[in-house]
Amino acid sequence: MSESGVHQIGVRRFCLIAIGENIKMMSSSTETSVMDQIIDRAVEQNPHSSELIKAFGPIISRQREMSASIALPALDYSLVDKEKLKAGVSVIRQMSLFSPDDPLTEIALSLIAAVKESMPALAAELDRLSDLITEEKLRLTEYFDARPGDESKAMEGRENHLQISPSNAAFLLSLMARVLLERRAGELTRALGEFTWEKGYCPICGEFPSIALIEEEGGKRFLHCSSCGQDWRFTRVVCPYCEKESQQEMDYYYVENKTQESAFVCDKCKKYLVTLYRAGRLHARDMDISAISLVHLDMIMQEKGYEPMAACVWNVLR
């Protein structure tokens, strides 16, 4: 079973009210152009998810830009023990992936601007958050200094005291964490080189996957973490969530005429994982945009009584 994810912090269905293959580091301008193409293509191919894609696409683009370009303090990755990784102890359980010198205010204000543009219904609340952060009444370091799994406790009571929405504060904090963790995940991958990992939760931040990708050649399954953007290979015959290995209790659901899209389900733990089959590499792909594009599968599976392996702002529908 998983360790607690780094920032599973009270995601709610507020996003529905508010709005009615991971891209590698490139120059910011090039990445923005590629992301725009990915978003436009996703909207065209998935009209049923177009409003969600249009709402979250620009926010995800801003996150990618900041992860690639923002100046962050160096961390000592020699603290990571590969033997512990082999035993299933994720990096964030071995060392902190946040620094007191991280430019939290800069990241927060940039993301607030992106969210306001995409989700104008949240503008008033976000303006208040912006003022509190600028005036240092909302201390972001208290959240990021907390131990993994204890982030909510670090902010407990602050929302009422500051008269801010817990769900909106949680949303902003999760967006910020992704910027930092995506950069650190890339640095860790380069620093560690090859290492053994056999768990269904993320080797970097300990969160469960939000989407899987199955390669056409060889049928290999890769899991994607929406919390830090890390991808890792995992066997197709085991449930990532409960580690059950039983063909009788695992299945894939397909939508008619959509053979490249499915949902892996486990009847033991009642979890599901939206899944894509890659038939080629003609187009660049962003796995978070792909996950949002498959929200119709989230609706179907949740109606059947299953829950997503990772709760994201776009897939918590009940």
- DSSP calls for 26-61: --HHHHHHHHHHHHHHHHHH-GGGHHHHHHHHHHHH
Residue 202: name the closest of 194, 193, 211 by CA: 211
Residue with tokens 């603290």: 79
In contact, 98 and 144? CB cutoff 8 Å: yes
| Domain limits, the chain | 14-192, 211-308
d(CA 209, CA 107) in angstroms, rounded, equals 24
The whole-number pLDDT of residue 161 equals 57
Query: Which tokens go with 109?
Result: 């204000």
Indicate if the alpha-carbon torsion angle 19, 172, 273, 235 is positive or negative.
Answer: positive
What is the full per-residue pLDDT of the chain (318 aa) written as tens digits? 545 433 333 333 333 333 333 333 334 455 568 889 999 999 999 999 999 999 999 999 999 999 999 999 999 999 999 999 999 999 999 999 999 999 999 999 999 999 999 999 999 999 999 999 999 888 898 888 876 655 555 555 555 556 778 888 889 999 999 999 999 999 999 999 999 999 999 999 999 999 999 988 788 999 999 999 999 999 998 999 999 987 777 888 988 777 889 999 999 999 999 999 976 565 678 999 999 999 999 999 999 999 999 999 999 876
Q: Distance (Å, rounded) from C-alpha 195 to C-alpha 86?
A: 7
pLDDT value, residue 152: 54
Question: Quick check: 225 and 207 in contact, CB under 8 A?
Answer: yes
Residues 6+ positions from 245 with CB-CB distance below 8 Å: 237, 238, 239
- The token duo for 120 is 């104008």
| Predicted local confidence at residue 30, as pLDDT | 55
Q: How many CA atoms lie within 13 A of 21 on its CB side?
A: 15
Per-residue pLDDT, 7: 35
Q: Judge contact between 165 and 125, C-beta under 8 A.
A: yes
pLDDT at site 33: 83
Q: What is the C-alpha to C-alpha distance for residues 127 and 119, in angstroms, rounded to an integer?
A: 12
Torsions phi, psi for 193 (to 5 deg): 70, -150
The pTM (predicted TM-score) of the whole model is 0.86
* Residue 142, pLDDT score: 86
- Nearest C-alpha neighbor of 7 from the set 177, 226, 201: 177
How far apart CA 90 and CA 229 sit, in angstroms, is: 15
Instruction: Tell me if residue 262 falls in helix, strand or coil.
Output: strand
Let me know if 96 is exposed, middle or buried by CB neighbors in 10 A (0-12, 13-18, 19+): middle
